[in-house]
Amino acid sequence: MHRFFVEEPAMGENSITITGGDVNHIKNVLRMSVGDKICVINGQNNKEYYCEITAVGNDAVDTRICEIRESDQELGNEVVLFQGLPKSDKMELIIQKAVELGVHTIVPVSTDRTVVKLDAKKEANKRKRWMSISESAAKQSGRLRIPEVTPVVSYREALEMAKKMDVRLIPYELAEGMEKTRELMSSIQPGQSVAVFIGPEGGFESSEIEKAMEIGAWPITLGKRILRTETAGLVTLAMLVYNLER
């Protein structure tokens, strides 16, 4: 069943009105009409609203709420991916797959080895594109919220953000073996917030690893092979999901 996100004001006691870009998608792409069923999410709770379309206009689609179901699709832990800005369109793949894996927020980070430089206009356009990808991935994977992709931050700013979180992980090729990674992963408790730091192409500078460890980050290994930046974060998230979805 097709899923759509709406803002809280769009919701009535027994009805929901869909506006914005989804109207064109429902009307002209999916060619849905009165009587068709859809699932609506407001991103503010753990409820799925199963609705029947009652009217299709040029600017709005009206629906009637037929059933409300509680859902546990979201991770019980807030996981934030601090992703070193990669080259090309790799960030789009990272966002799409990270959202599918349950990430709460994605923070693009400019590090010492970051090659990509974005001016204000380029960053605004990129972020708009990234949020669109996040929304599409959230719909496809049955999420109850659209993970935010924040503006690009410096590494120092990223560390300050991570200080407020309960657990901080940073994959590092010189970290202890996989048994230590398993031990650290399994020690994360339900409800704890988790920061995951991933470097850009070329990884982090050793001084950046040291700064992360100063704020309590745990260096972990992801195995014996060297992973690309677009792979490392997704492997870490997959390992977290395996341990957190008990």
Q: Which of 53, 62, 66 is nearest to 16 (CA)?
A: 62
pLDDT of residue 86: 93
Q: 14-39 burial string, b = 16+ CB within 10 Å, else e?
A: eebbbeeebbeebbeeeebeeebebb
Q: What is the pLDDT along the chain (246 residues), one digit of tens a residue?
A: 899 999 877 888 899 999 988 999 999 999 999 999 999 998 888 899 999 999 999 999 999 999 999 988 899 999 999 999 998 899 999 999 999 999 999 999 999 888 888 888 888 999 999 999 999 999 999 999 999 999 999 999 999 999 999 999 999 887 778 888 899 999 999 999 999 999 998 889 999 999 999 999 999 989 888 889 999 999 999 999 999 987
Q: Which of 140, 145, 95, 146 is nearest to 3 (CA)?
A: 140
The C-alpha atoms of residue 114 and residue 206 are separated, in whole angstroms, by: 14
Contact 240, 190 (CB under 8 A): no
Structural domains in the chain, sorted by start: 3-70 (2.40.240.20), 79-244 (3.40.1280.10)
The C-alpha atoms of residue 106 and residue 83 are separated, in whole angstroms, by: 7
The C-alpha atoms of residue 88 and residue 9 are separated, in whole angstroms, by: 38
pLDDT of residue 13: 85
pTM: 0.89
